[in-house]
């Protein structure tokens, strides 16, 4: 255990001395904090806009007035889902892409492996180090957000909402760790850290952008009749193809779970946490699988490499 901790603490130390990593980590923190602010500001603007709309409609002599938009407190934080999905994964990649390939390039892997440690201790150490850094970032974000939230929006969250938020951060952690594991795996397999980085970038693009877009393009845009204004709007609806495509993207799964947890979907905003998780079971499984796969792959290939 002591040796695993030594490796973990070295990983943490190097992460915080790495300017590129610091830059993305800082970007991530700033954005997730900014997102609370923007979210609240937009909500406020929307409420003012609602008043204006009501006035406008009344002055035009309309009889039916649209209901006031219902605002669930956590939905103000919803932008954070996107930031974790896109930038959080990049942070994890920056953290992990050269963890083994750099050791190879600098020759330090030989110094490590000629010491009395087991190979799985080495992976465990790196994993712990990365997990610690990621958890740290997320905890800072959580604390800051809760604080800012009460200050800026003036709303309070109850226990149920707080537990939703906490569970959301647990999923965010797992999502980021999956990318970290994938980078460890790629870095284990490649001699060159630039190559490892670019490869991870392509994977990231595919998973967090290309696949969701493909799925999006296969959604059905149904025309919905608005019963107040009698105008037609298009609303996206899942289809079998779009659902199937989405299976391959942990990002989509994470976003689905996140949207539910952060009360973005009004119909699910009041459900109990347990019901909500049960409802999202499929997404949760699809989210869990790739990370476990990567973990297993890393162990397997690194332990085998010794022969």
Task: Choose between 70 and 274: whose C-beta lies nearer to another protein.
Answer: 70
> Which 203-222 positions form the footprint of another protein (CB under 8 A)?
205, 209-210, 213-214, 216-218, 220-222
> CB within 8 A of 93, min separation 6: which ones?
179, 180, 182, 183, 197, 200, 201, 204
Task: Choose between 64 and 159: whose C-beta lies nearer to another protein.
Answer: 64
Please state the closest distance from residue 175 (CB atom) to another protein, in A.
17
> Which 15-74 positions form the footprint of another protein (CB under 8 A)?
17-20, 23-24, 27, 31, 34-35, 38-39, 41-43, 45-46, 48-50, 52-53, 56, 66, 69
Q: How far apart are CA 281 and CA 262, in angstroms?
A: 16
Please state the closest distance from residue 86 (CB atom) to another protein, in A.
6
Among 170, 228, 292, 303, contact with another protein (rule: CB under 8 A): 228
Question: Using CB under 8 A, which of the segments 7-15, 130-138, 168-176, 291-299 binds another protein?
Answer: 7-15
Among 1, 2, 156, 281, contact with another protein (rule: CB under 8 A): 2
Please state the closest distance from residue 7 (CB atom) to another protein, in A.
7
Kindly give the residue spans of alpha helices, DSSP state H, lying in the chain: 2-17, 19-59, 79-83, 89-96, 101-106, 108-113, 119-153, 159-189, 193-205, 211-217, 240-246, 250-261, 273-279, 281-305
Task: Choose between 232 and 274: whose C-beta lies nearer to another protein.
Answer: 232
The residue among 253, 255, 258, 261 whose CA lies nearest residue 288 is 253
Question: Using CB under 8 A, which of the segments 81-89, 127-135, 136-144, 285-293 binds another protein?
Answer: 81-89
> Which 141-160 positions form the footprint of another protein (CB under 8 A)?
none
> Which 169-198 positions form the footprint of another protein (CB under 8 A)?
193-195, 197-198
Look at the alpha carbons of 225, 226, 227, 228 in this order and tell me if their dihedral is positive or negative.
negative
Q: How far apart are CA 251 and CA 87, in angstroms?
A: 11
Number of residues that bind another protein (CB under 8 A): 84
238 binds another protein (CB under 8 A): no
Question: Using CB under 8 A, which of the segments 80-88, 167-175, 182-190, 287-295 binds another protein?
Answer: 80-88
Identify whether the C-beta of residue 85 lies closer than 8 Å to the C-beta of residue 37: no
Identify whether the C-beta of residue 89 lies closer than 8 Å to the C-beta of residue 179: yes
Please state the closest distance from residue 110 (CB atom) to another protein, in A.
4
Tell me the residue length of the chain.
Answer: 307
Identify whether the C-beta of residue 173 lies closer than 8 Å to the C-beta of residue 287: no
Question: Using CB under 8 A, which of the segments 6-14, 130-138, 149-157, 172-180 binds another protein?
Answer: 6-14
> Which 101-140 positions form the footprint of another protein (CB under 8 A)?
106-108, 110-118
Distances (CA, A) of 51 to 44, 47, 66, 71, 228: 11, 6, 11, 15, 17
């Amino acid at each position: 255990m002591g040796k695993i901790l030594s490796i973990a603490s070295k990983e943490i130390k190097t992460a915080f001395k790495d300017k590129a990593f610091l830059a993305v980590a800082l970007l991530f923190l700033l954005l997730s904090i900014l997102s609370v602010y923007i979210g609240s500001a937009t909500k406020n603007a929307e409420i003012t806009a609602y008043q204006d709309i009501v006035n406008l409609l009344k002055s035009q002599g309309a009889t039916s007035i649209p209901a006031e938009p219902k605002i669930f407190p956590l939905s103000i934080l919803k932008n954070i889902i996107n930031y974790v999905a896109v930038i959080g994964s990049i942070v994890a990649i920056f953290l992990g892409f050269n963890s083994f390939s750099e050791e190879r390039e600098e020759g330090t892997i030989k110094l490590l492996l000629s010491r009395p440690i087991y190979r799985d201790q080495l992976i465990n150490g790196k994993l712990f180090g990365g997990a610690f850094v990621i958890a740290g970032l997320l905890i800072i974000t959580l604390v800051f957000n809760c604080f800012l939230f009460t200050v800026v929006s003036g709303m309070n969250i109850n226990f149920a909402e707080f537990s939703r938020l906490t569970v959301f951060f647990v999923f965010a952690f797992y999502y980021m760790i999956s990318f970290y594991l994938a980078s460890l795996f790629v870095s284990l397999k490649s001699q060159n850290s630039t190559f490892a980085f670019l490869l991870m970038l392509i994977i990231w693009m595919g998973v967090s952008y290309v696949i969701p877009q493909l799925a999006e393009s296969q959604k059905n845009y149904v025309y919905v009749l608005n019963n107040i204004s009698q105008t037609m709007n298009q609303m996206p609806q899942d289809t079998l193809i779009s659902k199937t495509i989405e299976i391959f993207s942990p990002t989509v799964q994470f976003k689905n779970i996140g949207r539910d947890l952060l009360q973005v979907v009004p119909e699910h905003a009041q459900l109990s946490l347990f019901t909500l998780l049960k409802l999202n079971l499929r997404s949760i499984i699809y989210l869990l699988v790739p990370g476990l796969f990567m973990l297993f792959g890393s162990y397997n290939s690194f332990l085998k490499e010794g022969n």
